[in-house]
């Protein structure tokens, strides 16, 4: 079994102990890793070529605007939209991805440019993950086909949410093309109790596939899904005429194993030094005064090396020997076997140089290189106080230009506007000790949740239009020493806990609030109802009036329907009764067409007559019939020719009524169920009367039922009724 070797283990190997570290089974390896990919700005899920990778439609953002994206690099996925954040959206904007299982993740954020002429400058901004600043976009990032097109971090997510924030630096509006959150093994890259802790973040500085002609993702190498689909930049030479690429098709042993799951194909190419320069040297620009984790990948694929001691190297980083007498064949257990060496170095300058110097044999070899910036995760703001600030943001109606997204206190370079923080050693978290939102045009109210800011020492909300009472719980903040609420629209009595504080040299200012009372310098409070009580009484009275009016209306309508049904039932002949759910055109449209003609009676009834074709044509040609359709269903039943007339004047109604002898039909969509049932119950005792069919609201025939069962059918299809 293969495992990466750190420097301490390397010393044991050199002493002849040759101890192999077996990679323990990572958490959840038997299951598929959690994967989420977001196409920012997309309104629908999309798939990208050539692997048909699924990108979910945009979600989890705090603001921003959707724009068409310009493709800046072959590395970035070919997606058509992005989300950009103008300064009017605030200086901090975030994506908060919820329901992410606890674990170790590769989080990748792709950047993009807006595809519009007015957006001709690349934006420069900062990126934070879980409140920790991980990247600042360098000038010229959009002109390089390399890792500058995205930022990738390895991080532990523990609270079920991934928070990714973009912070404006005043150099253009931040824009984001896509997000990937890919689960990896919990112990990948030595993230364990014996290695890096869960408070450590790796940011990928460089990842090289040596000797490969094409840059690739793990998926292109047919890599394991638990590898995090890493991107490998191809490099064919470290320097002109100093090295050469070699390849093999031989199987590489011990490559794709836990916890890092490197693809086998990564070790099938390499760079080998030449006689022009026996050393292999690679140099990368880095940020000064930071720590870097370096991972060096080897497999002896050179056919000229077949055994132990034929190639031995020393490995130096910035001139310091980190690994001595590296014999790949001996350590890996043979040729075509994978070996990974890892060390962490502190870099004070801006250059990190890796040198492989052969001590036995004439040439050096290397297959791949990974370099990560090691970042210590920042302590977060106390969660309870973050929630209190979010509640205050909503209650005060804070303008979007404030932002107030992400963590209030971190990154330290980007705290929330109007919020002061201090570190609390007791909880090992940052807390809020000051609010300064004076003269900001705020028009909301003070919520009770402000009392959850237990560490507040000063509040300045003066010069706004904040209304309502001062929450009594504000007096429970014992650390509060300065409170400026002057120049607002506050009302009610000053809470006693605050009024008493004036005697203990606290600095409180409540002036220029016409509705406040209860302390010296303000009006005396009289016996009056609170604003809440007044609102409650008013709402109660309104509800009572509405309930009474509704009851009276329902009683009157029910009474009229029953009387109307009884009048209609009187004219029923001893004949079948049809009940049919009528599908009519828009009644409003019908009324608009007839608005110019005198209207006396409006009916939705069907009168069936056994008439010949000439009589039917006469009825169709009658100018008094204003609107009608033919019911083919009833025409086919027992030879009855039917006429459905939606609207007719009184003369036409009388003409049809006098000749009525076949049937009467009621549109259950226009009559209350009480009315229909009353009519049919009146006809229930008549010999020969029955119901042919009952239809539901979707025009589907439920059943052919007898009149005796009709009441039950209507009760199920329409509404509960009483007869």
Q: Which whole number is the average pLDDT over 389-412?
A: 94
The model's pLDDT over 558-579, given as tens digits with 9 standing for 90+, comes to 777 666 655 544 443 333 333 3
Q: What proportion of the chain, given as a percentage, has pLDDT over 90?
A: 57
Q: Is the pLDDT of residue 644 over 80?
A: no
- Residue 523's pLDDT is what? 86
Angstrom distance (rounded) from CA 469 to CA 710: 61
Say whether pLDDT at 23 is over 50: no
pLDDT greater than 80 at residue 199: yes
Give residue for tokens 């008493």.
Answer: 500
In this prediction, residue 557 carries a pLDDT of 73
How far apart (Å, rounded) are the C-alpha atoms in residues 508 and 488?
Answer: 14
Q: Which residue has the higher pLDDT, 593 or 217?
A: 217
What's the confidence (pLDDT) of residue 562? 64
Which residue would you say has higher pLDDT here, 354 or 674? 354
Q: Do domains 7-16+211-374 and 35-184 have the same CATH topology?
A: yes
CATH superfamily of the 35-184 domain:
Galactose-binding lectin (2.60.120.430)
Cα–Cα distance between 310 and 580 in angstroms, integer?
Answer: 95
Half-sphere exposure of residue 573: CA atoms within 13 angstroms, side-chain side: 14
Is the CATH code 3.80.10.10 the one for domain 415-517? Answer: yes
Q: Domain ranges for the chain, please list them.
A: 7-16+211-374, 35-184, 415-517, 566-717
Task: Work out the average pLDDT over 299-322.
Answer: 97
Judged against a pLDDT cut of 50, whether residue 603 lies above it is answered with no
At 556 the pLDDT is 78
Position 347 scores a pLDDT of 97
% pLDDT > 70, the chain: 70
Backbone angles phi, psi at 450, to 5 degrees: -60, -25
Averaged confidence pLDDT in the chain: 78
DSSP 510-567: --S-TEEESSTTSPPPPS---HHHHHHHHHHHHHHHHHHHHHHHHHHHHHHHHHHHHH
pLDDT greater at residue 188 or residue 561:
188
Residues 185, 226: contact at Cβ < 8 Å?
yes
Per-residue confidence (pLDDT) for residue 448, from 0 to 100:
95
Give the model confidence (pLDDT) of 234-262 as tens digits: 999 998 778 999 999 999 999 999 999 99
| Closest CA relative to residue 435, chosen from 475, 404, 401 | 404
Residues 6+ apart with CB under 8 A from 160: 98, 99, 100, 101, 102
CA distance 387 to 161: 15
CA 189/CA 444 separation, integer angstroms: 50
Instruction: State pLDDT tens for residues 502-555.
Output: 545 678 899 999 899 988 878 888 765 455 655 777 777 787 788 888 888 877
Q: Report, at the CATH architecture level, how domain 7-16+211-374 is classified.
A: Sandwich (2.60)
Check if the beta carbon of residue 643 is closer than 8 Å to that of residue 530.
no
Q: Which span out of 479-493, 504-518, 676-690 was modeled with the highest average pLDDT?
A: 479-493
**Length of the chain in residues, anyone?**
723
């Amino acid at each position: 079994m293969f495992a990466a070797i750190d420097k301490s283990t390397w010393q044991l190997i050199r002493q002849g102990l040759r101890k192999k570290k077996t990679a323990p089974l990572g958490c959840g390896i038997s299951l598929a890793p959690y994967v989420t990919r977001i196409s920012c700005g997309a309104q629908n899920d999309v798939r990208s070529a050539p692997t048909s990778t699924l990108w979910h439609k945009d979600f989890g953002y705090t603001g921003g605007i959707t724009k068409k994206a310009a493709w800046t690099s072959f590395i970035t996925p070919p997606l058509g939209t992005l989300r950009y954040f103008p300064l009017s959206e605030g200086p901090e904007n975030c994506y908060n991805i919820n329901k992410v299982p606890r674990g170790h993740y590769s989080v990748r954020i792709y950047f993009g440019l807006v595809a519009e002429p007015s957006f001709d400058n690349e934006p420069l901004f900062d990126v934070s993950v879980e409140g920790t600043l991980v990247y600042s976009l360098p000038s010229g990032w959009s002109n390089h086909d390399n890792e500058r097109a995205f930022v990738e971090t390895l991080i532990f997510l523990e609270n079920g949410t991934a928070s990714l924030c973009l912070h404006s630096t005043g150099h253009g509006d931040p824009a984001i093309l896509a997000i990937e959150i890919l689960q990896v093994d919990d112990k990948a890259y030595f993230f364990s109790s014996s290695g890096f802790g869960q408070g450590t973040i790796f940011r990928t500085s460089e990842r090289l596939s040596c000797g490969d002609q094409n840059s690739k993702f793990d998926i292109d190498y047919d890599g394991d899904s638990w590898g995090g689909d890493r991107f490998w930049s191809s490099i064919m030479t470290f320097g002109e005429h100093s090295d050469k690429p070699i390849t093999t098709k031989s199987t590489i042993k011990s490559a794709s194993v836990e916890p890092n799951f490197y693809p086998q194909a990564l070790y099938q190419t390499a760079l080998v030094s030449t006689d022009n320069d026996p050393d292999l040297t690679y140099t990368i620009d880095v940020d000064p005064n930071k720590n870097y984790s370096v991972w060096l990948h080897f497999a002896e694929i050179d056919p000229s090396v077949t055994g132990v001691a034929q190639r031995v190297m020393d490995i130096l980083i910035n001139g310091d020997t980190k690994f001595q007498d590296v014999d790949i064949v001996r350590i890996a257990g043979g040729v075509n076997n994978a070996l990974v060496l890892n060390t962490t170095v502190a870099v004070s300058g801006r250059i990190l140089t890796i040198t492989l110097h052969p001590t036995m044999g004439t040439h050096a070899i290397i297959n791949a290189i990974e370099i990560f910036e090691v970042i210590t995760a920042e302590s977060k703001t106390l969660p309870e106080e973050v929630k209190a600030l979010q509640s205050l943001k909503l209650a005060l109606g804070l303008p979007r230009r404030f932002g107030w997204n992400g963590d209030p206190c971190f990154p330290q370079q980007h705290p929330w506007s109007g919020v002061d923080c201090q570190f609390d050693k007791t909880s090992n978290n940052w807390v809020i000790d000051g609010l300064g939102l004076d003269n900001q045009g705020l028009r909301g109210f003070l919520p009770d949740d402000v009392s959850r800011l237990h560490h507040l020492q000063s509040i300045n909300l003066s010069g706004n239009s904040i209304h309502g009472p001062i929450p009594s719980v504000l007096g429970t903040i014992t650390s509060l020493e300065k409170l400026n609420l002057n120049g607002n629209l506050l009302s009610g009595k000053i809470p006693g806990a605050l009024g008493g504080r004036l005697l203990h040299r606290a600095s409180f200012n409540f002036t220029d609030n016409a509705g406040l009372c209860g302390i010296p310098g303000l009006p005396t409070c009289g016996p009056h109802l609170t604003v809440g009580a007044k609102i409650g009484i008013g709402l109660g009275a309104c509800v009572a009036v509405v309930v009474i009016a509704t009851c009276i209306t329902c009683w009157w309508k029910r009474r009229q329907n029953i009387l109307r049904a009884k009048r209609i039932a009187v004219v029923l002949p001893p004949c079948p009764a049809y009940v049919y759910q009528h599908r009519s055109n828009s009644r409003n449209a019908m009324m608009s067409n007839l608005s110019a003609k005198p209207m006396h009676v409006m009916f939705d009834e069907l009168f069936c007559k056994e008439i010949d074709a000439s009589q039917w044509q006469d009825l169709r040609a009658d100018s008094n019939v204003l609107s009608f359709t033919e019911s083919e269903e009833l025409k086919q039943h027992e030879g009855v020719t039917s006429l459905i007339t939606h609207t007719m004047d009184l003369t036409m109604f009388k003409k049809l009524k006098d000749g009525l002898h076949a049937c009467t039909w009621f549109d259950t969509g226009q009559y209350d169920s009480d009315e229909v049932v009353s009519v049919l119950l009146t006809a229930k005792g008549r010999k020969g009367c029955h119901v042919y069919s009952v239809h539901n609201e979707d025009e589907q025939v439920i059943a052919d039922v007898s009149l005796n069962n009709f009441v039950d059918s209507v009760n199920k299809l329409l509404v509960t009724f009483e007869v």
